Structure 1
Amino acid sequence: MDRLKISIYYLQELNYRLAYAIFGTIFLFSITYTYKQGLIFLFLPKGLSHFVSTGLTEIFFTYLQLCIIFSFSFGLGIALIQLYLFLRPGLYTFEAKTTFNILISALLFYICLYVFIFPIIVKLLWEIFSAYSQNFTAIDLTFEPRLQDYLTHLKQLSKALTISFPCLIILNILQIYTSRNIWVKYRGIAYITAFSIAAFITPPDVLSQTLIGIPLIIIYEIQLNFWSLHEEYKKQLLIRQPIESHKNPHRKKK
C-alpha cells in the first residue's frame, strides 16, 4: 500500500512538471507569435530591403513555423530542467553533480551559440552567396530572395549547430573507454556515421546532407586533434616533472 501511495505521488509530481513544460511552451508560442514580425527582422541580413512570396498561405505558415521552432526549442530546455528536478532526489551525489554540470554547460553553450556565433555565420554565408547572385553579369538576372527558402536554409544551419553539443558529449564519453588508435583506425566508419545521421535528420537531397555531415566530421577531427595535443601535453609534464631529492643517509637525526 505504501509503494502504491509513493508511486501515485511521483506520478502526480511528474504530471505537474510536464504541465509546467507544456504551459511554458504554449506561453512562449503566444509571445513569439505576438512579436512574429520583429522576430523575423532579427534574422534578416543587413542591407536587405525585401523578400518575395509566391504562395497565398506562405507568409502565414512561415510565421507559424518560426514561432513553433522557437517555442519548442525553449520548451525543450524547460522540460530538461523539470526532468532533472524530478530525478534529482533519486540520484547519487556524483550523478546529480555530473548531470547538473552537463545541463548548465548545454544551456550556456546554446545561449552563446545562438547569441554570438549563429549571427556571425549567417552574415558570412549571406555575404558569400549573395555576392555571386549580384555579380552575375552574363545575362540580366535579378536576385529576389524568397522568405521561406531563406528561413529553410537557416533551419538547416541551426540543425547542424544544435547537434554539435550532443556529439561532443558522446565523443567525450567514447574517449574515456577507447584509445586514440581506434579513432584513427575507424575514421572512415565515423565519416559514414556522420552522413547517416545527416540523412536521417535532413530532407532527401545531397546539399542538405552535406551541410549537416561535414560539420559533424569537422567536430570529429577537432576532437581527435585536441586528444593528441592533450596526450602530448601530459607527456611533456611527465618529462619536466622535478626529481625529488633523496635524503642524505649520513645526516644525523636531531
Structure 2
Amino acid sequence: MKVVVIGGTGLIGSNVVARLGGHGHEAVAAAPSTGVDTITGDGVEEAVAGADVLVDVSNSPSFADADVLEFFRTSTTTLVEAARSAGVGHYVALSVVGAERAPASGYLRAKVAQEELIRASGLPWSLVRATQFFEFAGGIADSATVAGVVTLPDGGVRPVAAADVAATVGRTAVGAPLGDVVEIGGPEVFGMDGWVRTVLAARHDRRAVVTDPEARYFGTRLEAKTLLPGPGSLVGTTRLADWLAG
C-alpha cells in the first residue's frame, strides 16, 4: 500500500513513516523540505499520484489566529483536490480532542475548519483526534510564562506520548475508512497545571507553575472536561513517568 504522509518529516509524521515502512508499506514523507508545499501547491500532485492513502499530520508554522486558519483552509483544500484527482481511497487527518468545545481558541477553530473540509470532500475519510502530546509540555509552559512564572488552568488533560499517537494514525491509515472520528489519550488524567509542573520538575526547570482557573490555554478557558476524550476512546500505553524516564 502506498501511503503519502503530509508533514512526514515532523514529530508524528516521521514516526508514522517509519512504522508503515517497517510493516512493508510504501510510506512517502512529504513536506516543504522534500519539495511538497501544500500552500503553494508545488509538488503536491506529483507526491499524491498513485497513493492509496493520504495522511495529513502537517501543522501551521504560525499559531496566530488568522495565520493558522488560513494555513489549514488552504492546505486542506489543496490536498482534497489533489486526492480527488489522484483517486486516493482514504484520507486520514490528525486533529485535536475537544477542538469543537473550545471555539475561543484560534488554533482549535482552525482544526475544526480542517475537519469540516475533509468531511465535505466526498472522499473516504478518517479523523484521529489526539490529546496533548507529552512532548508539548515545554512549549505550553513557554506560552504561559510571564516574568519567569508559568500560569496555567487546572482543566483536565490526558496527555499522550507522540509514539502512541503515531501508532494509532498508522493503524487507521491502513484500515478501512471510518467516515468517523477515533480519539486517543494517555492512560492518566492530570490537571493542565499539574502535568506541566511535573514535567518541568523532572527537567530541573526552576520556573514556578501557578494555578489559575481563569488562565487561558491558547486563548480559551478550560472547563474540567474540555480537553478530555469521550467514552470509548483509545488509551495510549505510555505513562508519564515512563516517558520522563526514557
Q: Is the TM value for this pair above 0.5?
A: no
The structure carrying a bigger helix percent of its residues is 1
What TM-score does the superposition give when structure 2 sets the normalisation length?
0.27
Q: If you compute each CA radius of gyration, which structure gives the higher value, 1 or 2?
A: 1
More strand per residue = 2
